[in-house]
């Protein structure tokens, strides 16, 4: 069996929306309820601090999708595995989606806290650059018709853009004059959030990571379904 051959389970279209997606929806809904009504309001930032429970988990959900994109791109380049390319394409779309949420929610958060919708600060600029690279990846996928060439070129671009992620995350350590706050949870010392806020944050991170995984899975299954429809149509015409 070659690495590209598909099993009967792979070729049979699976439902795009399944239990995992509904579990993710329930988890995000629970996060919303807990963050809005059952989490104390922070003393200095007021209710606007609750944007944090959407903004930061969206970043991590985007990182997860970019991580899947990078790993699947390496797998594709290494094994020439068609499914890895499909999974990479699904992850790229979800990564762009979550980073769009990050940029929009971050902009609103900035307006409240900094008084400006946008500041050309290192982390913001690198995040915007990463989002543009993600959009570029999707545009490139649509522009190249030959599937083998498309998969190879896109895998290389994906690996190069995933390399940017550590720079985005650690950018607050690189420059002294930055406006972005230093990490309050993901840092070498213990988190500087009170327990009730920390618990809401962790639930939010878990629910957004689950949503990211569920959307990647759904998008992958949609691609499989489309490919099955294309194959059936071509089989009918032959």
**Residue ranges that bind other proteins, judged by CB under 8 A:** 13, 16-17, 21, 28, 32, 35-36, 45-48, 50-51, 54-55, 58, 97, 100-101, 104-105, 108-109, 111-112, 211, 215, 218-219, 221-222, 225-226, 228-229, 232-233, 235-236
Shortest distance (Å) from residue 137 CB to other proteins:
17
Q: Per 3-state DSSP, what percentage of the chain is helix, strand, and coil (rounded to 5)? A: 75, 0, 25
151-156 contacts at long range (C-beta below 8 A, 24 or more positions apart) = 151/76, 151/82, 151/85, 152/76, 152/77, 154/73, 154/85, 154/88, 154/89, 155/73, 155/74, 155/76, 155/77, 155/85, 155/88, 156/73, 156/77
Nearer to other proteins, 84 or 110 (CB): 110
Nearer to other proteins, 32 or 153 (CB): 32
Shortest distance (Å) from residue 9 CB to other proteins:
16
Q: For residue 118, give the nearest of 103, 107, 102, 131 by alpha carbon.
A: 107
Shortest distance (Å) from residue 34 CB to other proteins:
12
CA distance 182 to 87: 33
Nearer to other proteins, 104 or 175 (CB): 104
Shortest distance (Å) from residue 74 CB to other proteins:
26
CA dihedral 82, 86, 89, 95 (to 10 degrees): -120
Nearer to other proteins, 155 or 216 (CB): 216
Shortest distance (Å) from residue 233 CB to other proteins:
5
Nearer to other proteins, 107 or 125 (CB): 107
């Amino acid at each position: 069996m070659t690495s590209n051959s598909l099993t009967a389970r792979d070729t049979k279209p699976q439902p795009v929306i399944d239990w995992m997606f509904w579990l993710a929806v329930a988890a995000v809904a629970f996060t919303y309820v807990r963050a809005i009504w059952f989490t104390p309001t922070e003393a200095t930032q007021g209710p606007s601090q609750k944007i944090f429970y959407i903004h930061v988990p969206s970043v991590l959900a985007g990182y997860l999708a970019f991580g899947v994109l990078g790993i699947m791109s390496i797998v594709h380049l290494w094994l020439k595995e068609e499914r890895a390319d499909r999974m990479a394409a699904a992850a790229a779309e979800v990564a762009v989606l979550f980073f769009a949420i990050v940029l929009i929610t971050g902009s609103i958060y900035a307006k409240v806290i900094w008084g400006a919708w946008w500041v050309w600060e290192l982390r913001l600029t690198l995040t915007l650059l990463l989002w543009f690279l993600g959009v570029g990846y999707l545009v490139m996928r649509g522009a190249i018709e030959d599937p083998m060439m498309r998969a190879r070129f896109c895998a290389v671009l994906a690996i190069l853009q995933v390399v940017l992620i550590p720079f985005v995350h650690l950018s607050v350590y690189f420059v002294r004059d930055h406006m972005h706050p230093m990490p309050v949870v993901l840092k070498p010392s213990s988190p500087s959030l009170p327990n009730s806020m920390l618990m809401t944050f962790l639930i939010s991170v878990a629910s957004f990571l689950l949503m990211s995984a569920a959307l990647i899975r759904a998008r992958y299954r949609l691609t499989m379904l489309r490919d099955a429809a294309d194959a059936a149509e071509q089989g009918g015409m032959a």
